[in-house]
Structure 1
Amino acid sequence: MSVDLVEKPSPSTTTPSSQAAALTVKPLTPILGAEVGGIDLRQELDAQTAARVREALLAHKVLVFRDQPLTDDEQIRFSRIFGKVTPAHPITNGLPDQPAIMQNVKSVMTSRVNELDAIARQQLRANSKGRRLRGWHTDITFVANPTSVTILRGLEIPDGAGDTAWVDLEALYAALSPAFQQLVDGLTAVHGRDDARIGYTPLPRDDGRTTGPFLSEHALVRIHPETGRKSLFVNPVFLKYIPDLTDAEGAALLDYLFEEQAGRIDLQVRVQWRTNDIVVWDNRNTSHWGPLDEIHFAAERIVRRTTVDPEYTTGPTGFRSRQIVGEPFYTLD
């Protein structure tokens, strides 16, 4: 899907730098995703090349850079072309010497032990709303100002496994009928996270901030601040309920939207990782699931993530996201 960029200067008005002239952008699907080549991210990008990378992100939403063996410092420097760098995560600590970098290790994540006893787990299940969530999510929507752009580096990737998929939430909104668009344009939704309640109490944060619980309220449709385009703001992992609807009405609506998000494979792109790949995505108009094949492989998978520019979202009615419980996110820069 093509995107009309807002007030972007035409690259043809200036002579391209040697870096910018070497840059290539190859779409991965007609709707979503592109592979970017011709540049070495170990080198600092000049202003013109950085601007073209940002324009490519607005146009394609997911960018894949192959064979980029960056250091942690180089990943942080590259991240800054998209905005101000945040801590690793509102709940999870970053690396001891790099608080901006969150490391996900498959063997660590899958070996976590739930603190609840058998009876408490049964009570939790009995009092929870069961939905087929799969793994689709937009990052940290339990805060009022989720990060704008995510940069993920494949430090250790198993052969032929560890894939991530993305879905275009702008295209998903555009696929709705005008009557349905009018309905969702006027709704908000509450997002939340409370790891301790489900038996996984987080470690204390190094900066002393809260690890939860978190609740925030967002518009169900958000407007992209740079392109002005509308996208569905649906997140099966963190979205809990729609305040203006009854529980039954809200559940029916969300179940439909979640199933559309998962089932519209024509609006998705699936990326097969290789070690030293970098993938950048726009967290404002996409949802992702990765590694989506996690249960099918036993090999180790290690990725390192940086994020930038926490941003309060705005909906078609002018509703601005608000924090209900917990703290908004912040930047290190």
Structure 2
Amino acid sequence: MPTTGTTLDELRPGLVTLKSRSPVEKPGEQEQEYRYAHLLPTFSSDRYSPLVPYDHVDPGHRALSHPDPLAFLEGATSFEITPRFGTEVVGVNLAELNSTGRDQVALEVARRGVMVFRDQQDFIDRGPEFYRQWGQHFGRLHIHPTSGHPAGYPEIHLVYRDLKSNFNFELDDAVTTTVWHTDVSYELQPPGLTTFFLLAQPKSGGDTLFTSQVSTLKRLSPQFVAFLRTLKAVHSGVEQAEYSKAGRRGGTVRRDPVENIHPVVRRHPVTGEEALYVNRQFTRRIVGLKREESESILRFLYDHIDKSAENQARIKWRPNTVVLWDNRVTAHSAIVDFENTGEARHGARITPQAERPIPALEGLDLS
């Protein structure tokens, strides 16, 4: 796909010149140019038509009929990050998994919410064409309307921040950088299984927080959950687009922003679990309620998500780590605590779309 607009060379003056040194080199020896310079963000001026609905079949369905849905973990070491949420794995090469193994990964990520795979240099070094092929197994790849991407690969969403540049969607007038969200929840068919990894990272900090929206829902009273099941909310991409139109984050909007209505409580198509589906970044109002009523309920739910540490997991990034999560049952937030260190945080996200959110309350009208 042709890429026009801001080029890598034009971006380079605004980026910290990243260097890499071989582990066997000693300080003062010749440094090499940044290994992943070809994956630095560009901001094309290409325009895209509105997304159209498509039929999504979750690969986790196929794994349900497998005699051993955890066969992909054979010979690996894994442990629960918390009892309710999250698994860390050592000893699986994601890049070598066949179609059946990828199906099993999709099912287990749906069950555990988030999975952290260490020692994945093979996966990361296979490059953007492989990233596309990997992501297409799980759904139609989403092209972000405003974010940077590697030249020629708009399906790869990039995050980038260093001392001089910030190409992320961050509100700098807030007292905290923690903003819980599920990625592009404003789309009619938001993402399902998502893959993310860092290509450059600070020596410390830059962690990612995840929370289980299944567990946050379960902590609420049955009577209140029954009420929430009857509600639907507007999710909007307008503010994110306006942020870019103001010249920040690369200043590009390649698809007109959309708003869509989703259930406040959704049901996972494979596991059947119910999950809270609102987030501070993109949920704007509850349909059918007066403004004060909507704001009171959303404020309570956001506060509940913020404070429920027993439902959260903090992922510490190590080199060659790949994290997979299911956007339908989780929310997350980056932690920007390294902004004054001069170090870069450069990450890539592979974002397949899933089904339109299924209401937990059967028959809920989403018009």
* TM-score class, shorter: 0.7 to 0.9
Are 1:90 and 2:139 an aligned pair? no
- Residues 1:50 and 2:102 are matched in the alignment: yes
Name which of 93, 113, 117 aligns with 1:40: 93
Instruction: Show the counterpart of 1:11.
Output: 67
2:146 and 2:241 in contact (8 A); partners too: no
Counterpart-to-counterpart distance in 2, 1:146 and 1:13 = 25
Alpha-carbon distance between aligned partners in 2 of 1:80 and 1:268, rounded to the nearest angstrom: 29
User: Structure 1 residue aligned with 2:349, among 297, 305, 318?
Assistant: 305
Structure 1, unaligned stretches of length 5 or more?
A: 115-124, 323-333
Matches within 5 A, 1:116-155: 134-155=178-199
Aligned to 2:154: 99
Deviates most, 272-281 or 70-79? 70-79
1:235, CA displacement in angstroms? 0.8
8 A contact 1:189–1:241 mirrored in 2: yes
| Cα distance, 1:113 vs structure 2 | 12
Residue deviations 1:187-238 (CA, integer Å, cap 9, x gap): 1111112245456354153xxxx242x2111111111111111111011011
Q: Aligned AA for 2:78?
A: V
The aligned counterpart of 1:319 is 364
Query: TM-score of the superposition, structure 1-length normalised?
Result: 0.78
Distance in 2 (CA, whole Å) between partners of 1:113 and 1:59 is 29
Q: Which residue of 2 aligns with 1:182?
A: 226
User: Is 1:65 the equivalent of 2:65?
Assistant: no
The share of aligned pairs that are identical, in percent, is 26
Query: Which has the higher relative contact order, 1 or 2, with Cα contacts under 8 A spaced 6 or more apart?
Result: 1
TM-score w.r.t. structure 2 length?
0.72
- Structure 1 residue 42, shift from structure 2 partner: 3.5
CA distance 1:245–1:52, change in 2 (3 Å): same
Shift of 1:13: 9.7
SS of the residue corresponding to residue 279 of structure 1 reads: strand
Cα deviations across residues 130-183 of structure 1 (Å, max 9, x unaligned)?
998941100101111111121001101111211001000011111110110111
Work out the CA distance in 1 between the residues paired with 2:165 and 2:184: 18
State the Cα distance separating 1:321 from its structure 2 match.
5.1
Cα contact 2:194–2:326 (8 A) shared by 1:
yes
CA distance in 2, matches of 1:13, 1:276: 25
Aligned counterparts of 1:106 and 1:13: Cα–Cα separation in 2: 38
Aligned-pair distance for 1:75? Answer: 3.0
Equivalent residue, structure 2, for 1:259: 303
SS in 2 for 1:151: strand
In the alignment, the residues of structure 1 paired with residue 144 and residue 365 of structure 2 have an alpha-carbon distance, to the nearest angstrom, of 22
Q: 1:215 to 1:204 in 2, by over 3 A?
A: closer
Distance in 2, Cα, partners of 1:27 & 1:306: 24
Amino acid at match of 1:162: G
Structure 2 unaligned residues grouped into runs of 5+:
1-59
Distance 1:42 1:304, change over 3 A: same
- Kindly indicate whether the alpha-carbon contact (under 8 Å) linking 1:76 and 1:85 is maintained by their aligned counterparts in 2: no
